[in-house]
Amino acid sequence: MGVLMRRVLIGAGIAGLMVVGAATAAPAMGATPLTYRVTIENRTQADLTPVVYAVHDRTARMWRNGRRASFGMTRLAEDGVPDIVRNEVARRRGVRSAGVANRIAAGRSISFTVRTTTRHRRLSWASMLVCTNDGFTGQSSYALPLKRNGRTRFSVRVNARAYDGGSEVNDERSSSVPCLGAHGVGRDERRVIRRHPGISGRGDLTVTSHGWGQNAARVTIRRIR
Ligand SMILES: [Ca+2]
Protein backbone atom coordinates (compact mmCIF):
# COMPACT_ATOMS: atom_id res chain seq x y z
CA MET A 1 0.00 0.00 0.00
CA GLY A 2 1.27 3.44 -0.83
CA VAL A 3 0.59 6.88 0.57
CA LEU A 4 -2.36 7.33 -1.75
CA MET A 5 -4.13 4.31 -0.25
CA ARG A 6 -3.81 5.67 3.23
CA ARG A 7 -5.34 8.92 2.05
CA VAL A 8 -8.22 7.04 0.46
CA LEU A 9 -8.84 4.93 3.57
CA ILE A 10 -8.57 7.89 5.92
CA GLY A 11 -10.86 9.99 3.74
CA ALA A 12 -13.41 7.20 3.45
CA GLY A 13 -13.17 6.46 7.16
CA ILE A 14 -13.77 10.02 8.30
CA ALA A 15 -16.59 10.84 5.98
CA GLY A 16 -18.00 7.48 4.93
CA LEU A 17 -19.74 9.43 2.22
CA MET A 18 -17.30 10.32 -0.49
CA VAL A 19 -18.86 12.71 -2.93
CA VAL A 20 -20.45 10.77 -5.74
CA GLY A 21 -19.78 12.29 -9.10
CA ALA A 22 -20.15 11.40 -12.71
CA ALA A 23 -19.48 13.33 -15.88
CA THR A 24 -22.22 12.68 -18.40
CA ALA A 25 -22.54 13.49 -22.06
CA ALA A 26 -25.81 14.67 -23.60
CA PRO A 27 -28.04 11.92 -25.05
CA ALA A 28 -27.27 11.08 -28.66
CA MET A 29 -29.97 11.65 -31.28
CA GLY A 30 -32.41 8.74 -31.38
CA ALA A 31 -31.17 7.17 -28.16
CA THR A 32 -33.73 6.48 -25.43
CA PRO A 33 -32.80 7.59 -21.89
CA LEU A 34 -32.52 4.84 -19.29
CA THR A 35 -32.00 5.06 -15.54
CA TYR A 36 -30.91 2.24 -13.24
CA ARG A 37 -30.41 2.02 -9.51
CA VAL A 38 -27.41 -0.16 -8.74
CA THR A 39 -27.02 -1.66 -5.25
CA ILE A 40 -23.82 -3.48 -4.34
CA GLU A 41 -23.64 -5.64 -1.22
CA ASN A 42 -20.20 -6.44 0.18
CA ARG A 43 -20.06 -10.20 0.86
CA THR A 44 -16.49 -10.19 2.21
CA GLN A 45 -15.25 -9.66 5.76
CA ALA A 46 -13.48 -6.37 5.03
CA ASP A 47 -14.08 -3.06 3.28
CA LEU A 48 -14.52 -2.66 -0.43
CA THR A 49 -12.90 0.64 -1.48
CA PRO A 50 -14.86 3.42 -3.29
CA VAL A 51 -16.58 1.92 -6.33
CA VAL A 52 -15.51 3.15 -9.77
CA TYR A 53 -18.14 2.61 -12.45
CA ALA A 54 -18.79 3.45 -16.08
CA VAL A 55 -21.58 3.04 -18.60
CA HIS A 56 -20.47 2.50 -22.16
CA ASP A 57 -21.19 0.76 -25.42
CA ARG A 58 -20.06 -2.75 -26.31
CA THR A 59 -16.77 -1.58 -27.80
CA ALA A 60 -15.39 0.02 -24.62
CA ARG A 61 -13.88 -1.67 -21.58
CA MET A 62 -12.80 -0.61 -18.11
CA TRP A 63 -11.11 -3.94 -17.36
CA ARG A 64 -11.30 -7.43 -18.72
CA ASN A 65 -10.60 -10.89 -17.34
CA GLY A 66 -7.58 -12.34 -19.17
CA ARG A 67 -6.10 -8.96 -20.13
CA ARG A 68 -3.49 -6.75 -18.52
CA ALA A 69 -4.89 -4.15 -16.15
CA SER A 70 -4.47 -0.50 -17.16
CA PHE A 71 -2.33 1.71 -14.95
CA GLY A 72 -5.44 3.09 -13.30
CA MET A 73 -6.80 -0.40 -12.65
CA THR A 74 -3.54 -1.48 -11.01
CA ARG A 75 -3.71 1.56 -8.72
CA LEU A 76 -7.28 0.65 -7.84
CA ALA A 77 -6.51 -3.05 -7.31
CA GLU A 78 -3.35 -2.48 -5.24
CA ASP A 79 -4.26 0.64 -3.30
CA GLY A 80 -7.95 1.36 -3.77
CA VAL A 81 -7.24 4.60 -5.67
CA PRO A 82 -10.43 5.44 -7.61
CA ASP A 83 -9.72 8.64 -9.53
CA ILE A 84 -7.03 7.47 -11.96
CA VAL A 85 -9.07 4.67 -13.49
CA ARG A 86 -12.21 6.83 -13.44
CA ASN A 87 -10.40 9.49 -15.47
CA GLU A 88 -8.86 6.91 -17.79
CA VAL A 89 -12.16 5.28 -18.63
CA ALA A 90 -14.07 8.58 -18.91
CA ARG A 91 -11.81 9.54 -21.83
CA ARG A 92 -12.30 6.31 -23.76
CA ARG A 93 -14.28 6.17 -26.95
CA GLY A 94 -17.69 4.59 -26.43
CA VAL A 95 -17.95 5.62 -22.77
CA ARG A 96 -20.95 7.74 -21.86
CA SER A 97 -20.04 8.46 -18.24
CA ALA A 98 -17.80 7.33 -15.43
CA GLY A 99 -18.09 7.97 -11.71
CA VAL A 100 -17.05 7.09 -8.19
CA ALA A 101 -19.45 5.86 -5.49
CA ASN A 102 -18.86 5.18 -1.81
CA ARG A 103 -16.77 2.52 -0.16
CA ILE A 104 -18.71 -0.47 1.20
CA ALA A 105 -18.17 -1.75 4.73
CA ALA A 106 -18.18 -5.52 5.30
CA GLY A 107 -21.69 -6.92 5.09
CA ARG A 108 -23.16 -3.56 4.06
CA SER A 109 -24.53 -2.17 0.80
CA ILE A 110 -24.34 1.05 -1.14
CA SER A 111 -26.53 2.28 -3.99
CA PHE A 112 -25.97 4.70 -6.82
CA THR A 113 -27.98 5.83 -9.83
CA VAL A 114 -26.74 5.38 -13.39
CA ARG A 115 -28.24 7.46 -16.20
CA THR A 116 -27.53 6.26 -19.68
CA THR A 117 -29.25 5.57 -22.99
CA THR A 118 -29.98 2.61 -25.22
CA ARG A 119 -26.72 3.41 -27.07
CA HIS A 120 -24.57 2.86 -23.97
CA ARG A 121 -26.16 -0.06 -22.17
CA ARG A 122 -23.11 -1.74 -20.65
CA LEU A 123 -22.09 -1.33 -17.01
CA SER A 124 -18.58 -1.87 -15.67
CA TRP A 125 -17.39 -1.31 -12.11
CA ALA A 126 -14.55 -2.26 -9.81
CA SER A 127 -13.64 -1.98 -6.12
CA MET A 128 -10.61 -3.25 -4.21
CA LEU A 129 -10.81 -5.92 -1.51
CA VAL A 130 -8.70 -4.22 1.16
CA CYS A 131 -7.48 -7.48 2.71
CA THR A 132 -5.67 -8.55 -0.47
CA ASN A 133 -2.53 -7.51 -2.32
CA ASP A 134 -4.25 -6.59 -5.58
CA GLY A 135 -7.65 -8.22 -5.39
CA PHE A 136 -10.78 -6.50 -6.59
CA THR A 137 -14.39 -7.29 -7.37
CA GLY A 138 -16.60 -5.94 -10.09
CA GLN A 139 -18.35 -6.57 -13.36
CA SER A 140 -16.98 -6.02 -16.84
CA SER A 141 -19.31 -4.85 -19.59
CA TYR A 142 -22.49 -6.22 -18.04
CA ALA A 143 -25.40 -5.82 -20.47
CA LEU A 144 -28.06 -3.79 -18.64
CA PRO A 145 -31.43 -5.42 -19.42
CA LEU A 146 -34.25 -3.39 -20.95
CA LYS A 147 -37.09 -5.68 -19.88
CA ARG A 148 -37.82 -8.65 -17.72
CA ASN A 149 -40.94 -10.78 -18.18
CA GLY A 150 -42.23 -8.07 -20.48
CA ARG A 151 -41.91 -5.37 -17.83
CA THR A 152 -39.76 -2.28 -18.07
CA ARG A 153 -39.70 -1.72 -14.28
CA PHE A 154 -37.88 -4.65 -12.75
CA SER A 155 -34.79 -5.68 -10.87
CA VAL A 156 -32.16 -8.33 -11.52
CA ARG A 157 -29.65 -9.78 -9.10
CA VAL A 158 -26.19 -10.92 -10.11
CA ASN A 159 -23.11 -12.09 -8.21
CA ALA A 160 -19.67 -10.56 -8.60
CA ARG A 161 -16.56 -12.66 -8.13
CA ALA A 162 -13.14 -11.61 -6.89
CA TYR A 163 -10.32 -11.02 -9.40
CA ASP A 164 -6.58 -10.70 -9.11
CA GLY A 165 -5.29 -7.52 -10.75
CA GLY A 166 -2.13 -9.31 -11.89
CA SER A 167 0.27 -6.56 -10.81
CA GLU A 168 1.37 -7.52 -7.28
CA VAL A 169 2.46 -10.88 -5.88
CA ASN A 170 -0.08 -12.27 -3.40
CA ASP A 171 2.36 -12.51 -0.49
CA GLU A 172 -0.47 -11.66 1.96
CA ARG A 173 1.98 -9.80 4.19
CA SER A 174 1.21 -6.93 6.52
CA SER A 175 3.79 -4.85 4.65
CA SER A 176 1.74 -4.92 1.45
CA VAL A 177 -1.91 -5.55 2.38
CA PRO A 178 -3.85 -2.36 3.18
CA CYS A 179 -6.18 -3.78 5.84
CA LEU A 180 -3.15 -4.78 7.91
CA GLY A 181 -1.83 -1.23 7.88
CA ALA A 182 0.61 -1.71 5.01
CA HIS A 183 3.17 1.00 4.65
CA GLY A 184 5.09 -0.40 1.71
CA VAL A 185 4.48 -1.59 -1.80
CA GLY A 186 4.37 -5.30 -2.64
CA ARG A 187 6.53 -7.12 -5.14
CA ASP A 188 5.48 -6.78 -8.79
CA GLU A 189 4.02 -9.59 -10.84
CA ARG A 190 3.42 -9.14 -14.54
CA ARG A 191 0.31 -11.13 -15.18
CA VAL A 192 -3.14 -10.62 -16.61
CA ILE A 193 -6.35 -10.08 -14.65
CA ARG A 194 -7.72 -13.46 -13.61
CA ARG A 195 -10.05 -15.03 -11.08
CA HIS A 196 -8.64 -14.46 -7.62
CA PRO A 197 -7.34 -17.72 -6.12
CA GLY A 198 -8.56 -16.64 -2.67
CA ILE A 199 -6.63 -16.14 0.55
CA SER A 200 -4.08 -18.93 1.07
CA GLY A 201 -2.88 -18.12 4.58
CA ARG A 202 0.75 -18.07 3.43
CA GLY A 203 1.50 -14.64 4.93
CA ASP A 204 -0.17 -12.61 7.64
CA LEU A 205 -3.75 -13.11 6.43
CA THR A 206 -5.86 -16.07 7.52
CA VAL A 207 -8.55 -17.82 5.52
CA THR A 208 -10.92 -17.70 8.51
CA SER A 209 -10.60 -13.99 9.18
CA HIS A 210 -9.91 -12.62 5.71
CA GLY A 211 -11.27 -15.15 3.22
CA TRP A 212 -14.54 -14.90 1.31
CA GLY A 213 -16.92 -17.31 -0.34
CA GLN A 214 -17.54 -17.89 -4.01
CA ASN A 215 -18.64 -14.30 -4.57
CA ALA A 216 -17.28 -11.06 -3.20
CA ALA A 217 -20.38 -8.98 -3.87
CA ARG A 218 -24.04 -9.26 -4.76
CA VAL A 219 -25.45 -6.71 -7.16
CA THR A 220 -29.07 -5.68 -7.57
CA ILE A 221 -29.84 -3.63 -10.67
CA ARG A 222 -33.23 -1.98 -10.80
CA ARG A 223 -34.49 -0.15 -13.83
CA ILE A 224 -36.33 2.95 -12.69
CA ARG A 225 -36.77 4.70 -16.02
CA1 LIG B 1 -1.77 -10.62 -7.50
Q: Confidence class of residue 129 from pLDDT cuts 50, 70 and 90?
A: very high
Cα 20 to ligand 1 centroid, rounded to whole Å: 28
pLDDT bin (cut points 50, 70, 90) of residue 61 is very high
- For the chain, what is the radius of gyration of the CA atoms? 17
What would the pLDDT profile of 64-97 be if each residue is shown by its tens digit? 999 999 999 999 999 999 999 999 999 999 999 9
Band of residue 185 on the pLDDT scale cut at 50, 70, 90: confident
Select from 102, 140, 111, 103 the least CA-distant residue to 124: 140
Distance 75 CA to ligand 1 centre (A): 12
The phi, psi pair for 40, rounded to 5°, reads -115, 125
pLDDT of res. 28? 60
Domain 3-17+32-223 = CATH 2.102.10.10: no
Ligand 1 center to 79 CA (angstroms): 12
CA pair distance 98, 61, nearest whole angstrom? 12
Q: Is the pLDDT of residue 60 over 50?
A: yes
Rounded distance between C-alpha atoms, residue 127 and residue 110, angstroms: 12
Work out the pLDDT band at 183, boundaries 50, 70, 90.
low
What's the CA angle centered on 107, arms 101 and 109, to 5 degrees?
30
Distance 27 CA to ligand 1 centre (A): 39
- What separation in Å is there between the alpha carbon of 204 and the centre of ligand 1? 15
Q: Cα–Cα distance between 205 and 24 in angstroms, integer? A: 40
Centre of ligand 1 to C-alpha 189, Å, is 7
The share of the chain scoring above pLDDT 90, in percent, equals: 84
Element (H, E) at 217: strand 217-223
State the helix-helix crossing angle for 71-79 and 3-15, rounded to 10 degrees: 60
Query: How confident is the model over 6-49, as pLDDT tens digits?
Result: 444 433 433 333 444 555 666 566 789 999 999 999 999 999 99
What band does 4 get if pLDDT is binned at 50, 70 and 90?
Answer: very low
Question: Any idea where the domains of the chain sit in the sequence?
Answer: 3-17+32-223
Q: For the residues 94-105, what does the mean pLDDT come to?
A: 98
Residue 180 Cα to ligand 1 middle (Å):
17
Q: For residue 145, how far is its CA from the centre of ligand 1 (angstroms)? A: 32
CA 209 to ligand 1 centroid distance, Å: 19
> Do 114 and 120 contact (CB within 8 A), yes or no?
no
Q: What is the pLDDT of residue 146?
A: 96
**Global confidence as pTM:** 0.89
- Within 10 angstroms of residue 151's Cβ, the number of other Cβ atoms is 8
Residues in the chain: 225
Residue 10's pLDDT is 38
Q: What is the mean pLDDT of the chain?
A: 90
Distance from Cα 96 to the centre of ligand 1, integer Å: 30
Residue 194 alpha carbon to ligand 1 centre in Å = 9
Cα 32 to ligand 1 centroid, rounded to whole Å:
40
| Cβ pair 147, 94 in contact under 8 A | no
Alpha carbon of 167 to ligand 1 centroid (Å): 6
Query: What is the rounded average pLDDT of the residues 107-127?
Result: 98
Distance 170 CA to ligand 1 centre (A): 5
The runs of H, that is alpha helices, within the chain are: 3-15, 71-79, 83-90, 207-210
Q: What integer pLDDT is reported at residue 16 of this predicted model?
A: 37
What residues flank ion ligand 1 with Cβ within 5 A? 134, 164, 170
Residue 6's pLDDT is: 43
